[in-house]
Structure 1
């Protein structure tokens, strides 16, 4: 655990989820007075047990020097939360856990490097892969942020430590001075626009930490879209930092890119990604390019990085291979992509496979699946679940599909059809949020895996 010492004497914490509780723990461990509040009495009890004073923060208690805000609390849009307004009126800085981490780094017993990874899609896979490559190269790696542990739950740096942090736009919003050593921007597509007000606001939230980069820092930017390319051009005007372009589409200006199953640089092929089950598809090619450059930038040896690639196990719910059923005329493969909560994420999976038995649906995002029309010819049949079923049915139109309504009906239907047709890929890539039928995407993915395992046990398989 990281202790926050000598930075503040009194801090308020609003929102006591994982981030808020770890902030309370870190501040109290450093001797800082904490006044905290959450509408959930059980969460307040946890904070109180850590030594926080439990008190509503409207009005703001006297002597508060900073407000640590939960990332999920509205900061600017659609309207600021009342506690934000109260803090601003009192000229109290509003920050998040990344800002506390930034300040705490100066107190660590050893120097460290920080790699911060953001973007709309691929952040978690890239962060996990970067951590894997660096661990395989002999570094002491701490992985956290929006993946795994809260950043303040990590350990203070020891010799050869690299922090690999996944950051959402919400977290960057609350980190006005956060400045990593290596910053990665993977891609941009419309997301969380209710939080940022517009696409312009969303892009600016991601770009903030790049504007904070210090001389000698590295900016790694995916250039597979016009917005991203414009940001790369902006970064390249700063001669004090190192700027590296990457691509999942063999974009000619990229230094490292994905092409026909290979990770390549301008000198030629580097790693055969087609042989790594957890890194299939062009989007994972971009993730691999980002992780490769990040590891190199942190000081890892090229040969060590290349050797480490093959052992990457991937992440649950992100194009996760589950197993296979062997039929008389072919094999049915199962892929759990429950983390695909929007159409852009599902596009990557649909682009990777052929003869797809696609299970999709849930709580739809704006635009639905209209943007996925270019991939409909890859779909042998779709099985629609959740609140989006009827509207997705209209979009699919003549593409073969069944309104299954629930996952427990969709899985056996897809298996039966795939086996009858001589095999294929049963792909669970919802393109929707989970909240209409499941608590989160993890539980949704776990339910899919359980249903698949039932089918494997019943029909026989290569697991």
Structure 2
């Protein structure tokens, strides 16, 4: 499935990088009638594109004078640490460099509505939640970009003409990384969400100023008919909001805080109560099981602002947030064994990523470890009082044991399945109402698993095995009686 890029009919397009987004771009451009020249340094990637009607040539052999644009894979360096050689070729030939999300917008401008989401943290959850809420409202919605399916792998609108003189029901919800935003030039979302800004990807953007500038591109083409939703809990984000409000032809703003910032329009207090000062609407975000923790309250409040702008009533938002399953391996509730809750946070591959889960649950029976990263778990010491016991796995076990020594009761479990069994037994004896067995490894998975997804699936399998064992024990007890 791909959206034919009919606006490129009869034109030539260069595509560099033939992974997920690049291959979708090739298919969309060819089906739209474009001539496509493409390359990837990996032979297996070129093989996947070989049967798609594309000319596979090294970029030095491309007819640059004919190219309308270069679709560049977001992972290819545009500016730092230094531009990839193909960037110099394109600039020397005066060829525009863009990405698949930009091509999607150019194809469907005026034929669909767009919601764009970015931020250092939380953008995948917020993107998925917005898509879920729109779907619950009965709106035709496609979700992709930096999450799940690439932008040009999404379904085309069901109608080619605007409905009722405005937009059709089709809405595209796109998660956009800073890499992608660097390659967007005309993209104008009807609603754009920028959650937060903390140091990340500085090797690709040079410094925080470069990183912030890339993110700011999400609002660049928006005007007074559009809504910009901003989390303002970092000083940089407060500055972005002020600068945006002072801009000529600025979009309308919905400023969100979970830290009691004065300038906010939408506030979430420390108990999870959300209040929209613009209309008096309220939501109890703490009532939604898959949206626990202050960081998820920010995600939920921003998603609320986005879908209210698109006409979704509060009653459906409430029902939709209650039914939202969460994202796999991101603080995902995967089971309950008696009073013990089991949470899969396998995506937390470093200490910073593990912090939100440790801040959310208590008491925690923490399964932690894998292949350690720089700094280990020293940065999580503030959360150690919330940990009833830790179960150490993988290569990091000895290092993490030294960090936890005399501070957190712990045991070296070695293997994940053994850690689950041990943690479940200990948590069942905890006097609290809802002890939590939490897989939040704060380490890479590659010592024992091919990726964090495989680690998360192994955790779920181990939790399910507890249920199987309990069922077998119950059956034996019944037959004995």
Give your verdict on TM over 0.5.
yes
Q: Using the alignment, how far apart are the partners of 2:152 and 2:15 within structure 1?
A: 14
Match runs of 1:127-146 below 5 Å: 127-146=127-146
Deviation at 1:419, TM superposition (A): 3.2
Deviation at 1:19, TM superposition (A): 0.4
Map of 2:360 onto structure 1: 352
Match runs of 1:20-419 below 5 Å: 20-62=22-64, 63-106=66-109, 111-157=111-157, 158=159, 159-238=168-247, 240=249, 241-259=251-269, 260-266=271-277, 270-326=282-338, 331-364=339-372, 367-397=375-405, 398-419=407-428
Which deviations, in whole Å up to 9, do the C-alpha atoms of 1:399-455 show, x marking residues without a partner?
Answer: 233344442343233223323445721111223444444333322211211122122
Rate the CA distance shift 1:370–1:223 in 2: closer, same or farther, 3 A.
farther
Q: Using the alignment, how far apart are the partners of 1:104 and 1:52 within structure 2?
A: 20
Deviation at 1:460, TM superposition (A): 5.1
Q: Using the alignment, how far apart are the partners of 1:305 and 1:325 within structure 2?
A: 30
Give the SS at the match of 2:80: coil
CA contact (8 A) 2:37 2:62 kept: no
CA contact (8 A) 2:256 2:302 kept: yes
Using the size of structure 2 for normalisation, the TM-score is 0.87
Q: Using the alignment, how far apart are the partners of 1:183 and 1:17 within structure 2?
A: 27
Rate the CA distance shift 1:142–1:400 in 2: closer, same or farther, 3 A.
same
Deviation at 1:196, TM superposition (A): 2.2
Deviation at 1:366, TM superposition (A): 5.1
Deviation at 1:61, TM superposition (A): 4.1
Rate the CA distance shift 1:278–1:420 in 2: closer, same or farther, 3 A.
same
CA contact (8 A) 1:262 1:269 kept: no
Q: Using the alignment, how far apart are the partners of 1:269 and 1:345 within structure 2?
A: 32
CA contact (8 A) 1:257 1:286 kept: no
Q: Using the alignment, how far apart are the partners of 1:196 and 1:214 within structure 2?
A: 26
Q: Using the alignment, how far apart are the partners of 1:11 and 1:388 within structure 2?
A: 47
How many residue pairs end up in the alignment?
454
Deviation at 1:363, TM superposition (A): 4.6
Give the SS at the match of 2:341: strand
Q: Using the alignment, how far apart are the partners of 1:198 and 1:190 within structure 2?
A: 9
Q: Using the alignment, how far apart are the partners of 1:431 and 1:225 within structure 2?
A: 24
Q: Using the alignment, how far apart are the partners of 2:293 and 2:83 within structure 1?
A: 40
Deviation at 1:23, TM superposition (A): 0.3
Map of 1:454 onto structure 2: 465
Q: Using the alignment, how far apart are the partners of 1:253 and 1:38 within structure 2?
A: 48
CA contact (8 A) 2:71 2:97 kept: yes
Q: Using the alignment, how far apart are the partners of 1:43 and 1:148 within structure 2?
A: 19
Map of 2:163 onto structure 1: none
> Does residue 1:441 correspond to 2:449, yes or no?
no
Judge which range, 35-44 or 263-272, deviates more: 263-272
Which deviations, in whole Å up to 9, do the C-alpha atoms of 1:130-158 show, x marking residues without a partner?
Answer: 11222222322111112221111112333
Q: Using the alignment, how far apart are the partners of 1:265 and 1:341 within structure 2?
A: 35
Q: Using the alignment, how far apart are the partners of 2:62 and 2:111 within structure 1?
A: 36
Which deviations, in whole Å up to 9, do the C-alpha atoms of 1:206-260 show, x marking residues without a partner?
Answer: 1222233233221111112222222122222125310111123343432223221
Structure 1 residue runs of 5 or longer lacking an equivalent are: none
Using the size of structure 1 for normalisation, the TM-score is 0.90
Rate the CA distance shift 1:233–1:344 in 2: closer, same or farther, 3 A.
farther
Q: Using the alignment, how far apart are the partners of 1:242 and 1:133 within structure 2?
A: 22
Deviation at 1:319, TM superposition (A): 1.3
CA contact (8 A) 1:87 1:93 kept: yes
Q: Using the alignment, how far apart are the partners of 2:179 and 2:446 within structure 1?
A: 20
Map of 2:479 onto structure 1: none
Map of 2:3 onto structure 1: 2
Structure 2 residue runs of 5 or longer lacking an equivalent are: 160-167, 473-481
Q: Using the alignment, how far apart are the partners of 1:163 and 1:214 within structure 2?
A: 19
Q: Using the alignment, how far apart are the partners of 1:73 and 1:174 within structure 2?
A: 11
Give the SS at the match of 1:360: strand
Larger radius of gyration: 2
Q: CA RMSD in A?
A: 2.4
Q: Using the alignment, how far apart are the partners of 2:377 and 2:239 within structure 1?
A: 27
Map of 2:164 onto structure 1: none
Q: Using the alignment, how far apart are the partners of 1:387 and 1:201 within structure 2?
A: 36
